[in-house]
Amino acid sequence: FSFQVEEELQEQEFLDRCFQEMLEEEDQDWFIPARDLPQGMAQLQQQLHGLSVGDGHASEDILSKSNLNPDAKEFIPGVKY
């Protein structure tokens, strides 16, 4: 009886170690910017998050100088008119 219990405990311990190793391998496969990017890249990434596309005034200026046809059909890639 004790031999069977000891064998089950060893088997459980073996399974626990295998599971832990699997989790560690999986962690290595994940891309974590704070860990995997060089320090300068992480800083650059933070700066990129702070950027905005525009305040609206520049786009109005571009539209007023545009020579595109506002009545033209919408461009859909792959569709021929």
pLDDT in tens, 33-79: 777 776 777 677 777 777 766 665 666 677 777 788 888 888 888 88
The rounded distance, in Å, linking the Cα atoms of 56 and 39 is 34
> Does residue 17 or residue 1 have the better pLDDT?
17
pLDDT tens, residue by residue, 2-16: 888 899 999 999 999
Q: State the Cα torsion 57-62-65-69 to the nearest 10°.
A: -130
Map residue 73 onto helix, strand or coil. Answer: coil
For residue 4, which amino acid is it?
A: Q
Predicted confidence at residue 19, as pLDDT, reads 92
Question: CA-CA distances (angstroms) from residue 41 to 23, 27, 31, 54, 59?
Answer: 27, 21, 14, 24, 30
